[in-house]
Amino acid sequence: MAIKEFEIDDFNELISILIQDSYYSNTSNRTKLTLLRQYSEIVIRKIINMGEGEPLLLGDVLHPKKGTKVHEKLQLLEKWRLKEFQEIIQKVASWGNKHSHTQSISIGTVEDVRQAENAILELMAFLFVDYFLEYPIYLFTDRVILRAFSFLPPILRFKVLSYLYKKADRRNVVLVDKLLLSLVKTKGKNYTSDWLEQNQEDLIKVDYPNQKTIEDFYSFCDFEVTIQLSNYKNIYELWKDKINDPRILSNESGRLYKNFEEALYYYKQNRIEDMLHDSIEREKFRDLLNFVYVGRKAH
């Protein structure tokens, strides 16, 4: 029998309840951890495309048995991605099991909740990494996609971009530029400046476009250019100047938005969802954004 695929409409109501009770209600830490574990299972279902009614437990993913539906889905992941996926789920299981069963009477702490939320962010980052492995970030990436990506919480963008930077066979200036912007927003200007110096040698080696490619890039951007490539020889030199641009301060430490609720407000104000149509690439990205924002309250 075919495995039912993931449909967001099947989970909208449940996700909204879990988010409401986890983030917007005065519940105990233990209750929050139990709810976040349930939410993490839905994110896992989204990642492996396993729908409502199909059996799925964290242990099924950590120790998949041959012949099961979970095993069949996991076989679709490349081995290195499966290993990373299971490492994240192990983190979820470490706090989820402890606070979901009566064998442990731990009531949970604020730090436990923080770790749970971080593990869920890593699962969400896994979704977006998968997307950008299929549709890489480079000079001629759809500008609408990059604009939409910027309306996610800075910490989530940082997790995605830092992973892509570490794993890329050949790094490019757009990927590095986006990573550095996310660093400014999550860690601040001073941290980013130190990171630049520590990674100077690697940054100088990043593929840098020639003049013809730069002109094509400017034309592609329709003159909405955020990277003045023609003035520099490499991305390190470019960012040595850019880090001192007063406009960078407006990005420092996520001044516009730090979390899902604040980011969602600007996402709606700028009508980003309305831009994500006319191509499979955009529609897939819209689907991801809609998923991670289910149940969130804009403010």
Q: Residues 100-142: pLDDT tens digits? A: 655 555 677 889 899 999 999 999 999 999 999 999 999 999 9
Position 275 pLDDT exceeds 80: yes
H/E stretch holding 92: helix 79-100
Angle between helices 235-242 and 173-187 (to 10 degrees): 30
Within the chain, how many helices (H) and strands (E) appear?
16, 0
Owner of token pair 């442990």: 104
pLDDT-derived band at 46, boundaries 50, 70, 90: very high
pTM of the model: 0.92
Terminal CA-CA length for the chain: 44
- Select the more confidently predicted residue: 35 or 103: 35
User: Can you give the residue ranges of every domain in the chain?
Assistant: 8-134, 154-256
- Which of the listed ranges 31-35, 229-233, 287-291 does the model predict with the highest average pLDDT? 287-291
Point out which residues pair with 172 in neighbouring strands. Answer: 207
**What would the mean pLDDT of 149-154 be, rounded to a whole number?**
95
pLDDT of residue 170: 84
What single DSSP character describes residue 295? T
178 touches 143 (CB < 8 A): no
Cα–Cα separations (whole angstroms), residue 39 to 18, 141, 183, 205, 282: 7, 31, 28, 41, 25
